[in-house]
């Protein structure tokens, strides 16, 4: 090959390389990296903006209507910022694993300071009007969550499956996995909202709830720590009066004399119906209960009237099969919802009154014993003589002080 031909080949090679380089530069300039789409957040709608003066009218949930000077001092220090409340719709999974849309309230204080995020799981509700995203006057999002937010916390309040955007689905009452999943995905959607709105989140996460919310919070904590330990910086958990030891609770109800309060018994019926459905047992209610209660429960569900100690409502054959361990289907369904026998790594506080007739104290006392035996980071705060209702104030104020120490 002569020299002119060699020069032509070299020149062609250089021009080709330059063409590739210019094309690459052009693509980089004209095609910026796309903004990643949200995986969980579907939509957000502003519910309203509320001043500190408006929030002062909602403090009865902490004072119980009692004019206590110490509580008044606490309240005066609680309210720092105006807040905005949003309805969040997000993607989660139903109990059968299918994707659905659920909802919740997200409450944001009006401050530019770096602040933590709290996931606050609500207690038992019987009406969709009380779902956090509806922000009704009797909802926990309207009261306790909004008061906490004013102190400098972003608060995520999941509705759970069966309320708000998913109200056409039967609520899976006291079902560990679905409560945990709906709450976790609400946190994930809230994180995406925080990123989109450029809120100043400190990246700290705290979780809390009372009654069903206590059980939901413990279920959420276990799921995060065991399945997604690096996804969030979980720094504190506060659970009040939750039914963590479902197995012991159920056996106590079957064998012991209890309060005979119909409203409480309706909740126990609700749990039986939920597990009967979700775990595919699909039994008639006369399998579990004797007459005249079986027919009432079959027809009216958790609105049935059972004004006796709950052990007297169970069918004798069912009680026998539970006590001798032969009803493995129901026993396994109940056991699948136990969240008491594991070792929390996150600093965890349990609040419970030892005179609680609705969710018996044994749930917290057995939980703290089992958790500490496994090396769990947990403390039980017992309210002597405390009922399910009277312990709520201790839980709320104690949780506030606990979380403030973790800011």
List the chain pLDDT tens, one digit each, 407 residues. 554 454 444 444 434 443 443 344 444 444 454 556 899 999 999 999 999 999 999 987 666 555 566 566 666 678 999 999 999 999 999 999 999 999 999 999 999 999 999 999 999 999 999 999 999 999 999 999 999 999 999 999 999 999 999 999 999 999 999 999 999 999 999 999 999 999 999 999 999 999 999 999 999 999 999 999 999 999 999 999 999 999 999 999 999 999 999 999 999 999 999 999 999 999 999 999 999 999 999 999 999 999 999 999 999 999 999 999 999 999 999 999 999 999 999 999 999 999 999 999 999 999 999 999 999 999 999 999 999 999 999 999 999 999 999 99
Other C-beta atoms lying within 10 Å of the C-beta of residue 197: 12
Query: CA of 395: how far to CAs of 61, 210, 211, 381, in Å?
Result: 12, 8, 11, 9
Q: Identify whether the C-beta of residue 163 lies closer than 8 Å to the C-beta of residue 122.
A: no
Instruction: Output the pLDDT for position 37.
Output: 84
What DSSP character marks residue 31? S
β-strand pairing of 233-240 with 378-383: unpaired
Block residue for tokens 């769990």? 376
Instruction: Please tell me the pTM assigned to this model.
Output: 0.89
Alpha-carbon span 243 to 181, nearest angstrom: 18
Provide the pLDDT for residue 59: 85
Closest CA to 218 of 227, 231, 205, 208: 208
CA atoms of 245 and 339, how far apart (whole Å) = 6
> What pLDDT sits at residue 14?
39
Candidates 235, 243, 251; CA nearest to 218 is 243
Residues 182 and 122: their CA atoms lie apart, in Å, by 12
Helix axes 212-227, 176-197, angle to 10 degrees: 70
What is the spatial distance between Cα 129 and Cα 19, in angstroms, rounded to a whole number?
64
CA dist., res. 46 & res. 83, Å (int): 11
pLDDT of residue 6: 47
**What's residue 29's pLDDT?**
44
Contact (CB, 8 A) for 296 and 308: no
Measured in degrees and rounded to the nearest 5, phi and psi for residue 253 equal -65, -35
Cα 99 from Cα 404, distance rounded (Å): 36
C-alpha to C-alpha distance for 183 and 196, rounded to whole angstroms: 20
Name residue, tokens 């004019």: 67
Separation of alpha carbons 150 and 50, rounded Å: 10
Predicted pLDDT at 66: 53
Cα-only R_g, the chain: 26
Burial code of 145-157, b = ≥16 C-beta within 10 A, e = fewer? bbbbbbbbbbbbb
Residues 335 and 247 sit within 8 Å (Cβ to Cβ): yes
Cα-based distances in Å from 6 to 1, 17, 235, 295 = 7, 17, 69, 98
**Sign of the torsion angle spanned by Cα atoms 97, 228, 108, 67:** positive
């Amino acid at each position: 090959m002569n020299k002119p031909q060699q020069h032509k080949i070299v020149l062609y090679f250089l021009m080709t390389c330059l063409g590739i380089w210019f094309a690459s530069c052009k693509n980089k300039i004209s095609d910026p990296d796309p903004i990643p789409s949200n995986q969980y957040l579907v939509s957000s709608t502003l519910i309203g903006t509320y001043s500190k003066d408006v929030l002062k009218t909602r403090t009865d949930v902490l004072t119980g209507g009692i004019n206590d000077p110490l509580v008044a001092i606490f309240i005066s220090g609680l309210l720092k910022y105006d807040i905005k409340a949003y309805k969040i719709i997000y993607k989660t999974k139903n109990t059968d694993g299918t994707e659905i849309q659920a909802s919740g309230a997200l409450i944001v204080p009006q401050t530019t300071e770096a602040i933590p995020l709290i996931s606050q799981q609500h207690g038992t509700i019987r009406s969709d009007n009380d779902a956090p995203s509806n922000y009704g006057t009797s909802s926990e999002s309207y009261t306790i969550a909004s008061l906490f937010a004013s102190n400098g916390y972003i608060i995520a309040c999941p509705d759970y499956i069966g309320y708000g955007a998913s109200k056409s689905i039967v609520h899976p009452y006291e079902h560990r996995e679905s409560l945990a999943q709906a709450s976790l995905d609400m946190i994930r959607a809230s994180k995406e909202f925080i990123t989109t709105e450029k809120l100043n989140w400190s990246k700290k996460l705290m979780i809390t709830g009372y009654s069903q919310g206590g059980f939901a919070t413990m279920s959420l904590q276990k799921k995060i720590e065991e399945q997604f330990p690096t996804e969030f910086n979980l720094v504190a958990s506060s659970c009040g009066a939750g039914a963590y030891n479902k197995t012991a609770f159920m056996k106590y109800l079957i064998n012991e004399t209890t309060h005979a309060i119909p409203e409480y018994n309706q909740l126990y019926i609700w749990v039986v119906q939920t597990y009967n459905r979700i775990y595919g047992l699909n039994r008639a209610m006369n399998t579990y209960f004797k007459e005249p209660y079986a027919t009432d429960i079959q027809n009216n569900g958790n609105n049935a009237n059972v004004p006796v100690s709950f052990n007297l409502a169970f069918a004798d054959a069912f009680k026998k099969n539970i006590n001798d361990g032969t009803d493995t289907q129901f026993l396994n369904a109940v056991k699948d919802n136990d969240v008491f026998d594991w070792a929390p790594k996150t600093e965890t506080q349990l609040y419970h009154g030892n005179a609680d007739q609705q969710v018996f104290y044994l749930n917290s006392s057995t939980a703290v014993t089992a958790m500490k035996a496994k090396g769990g980071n947990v403390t039980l705060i017992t309210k002597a003589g405390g009922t399910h209702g009277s312990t709520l104030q201790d839980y709320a104020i104690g949780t506030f002080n606990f979380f403030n120490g973790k800011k």
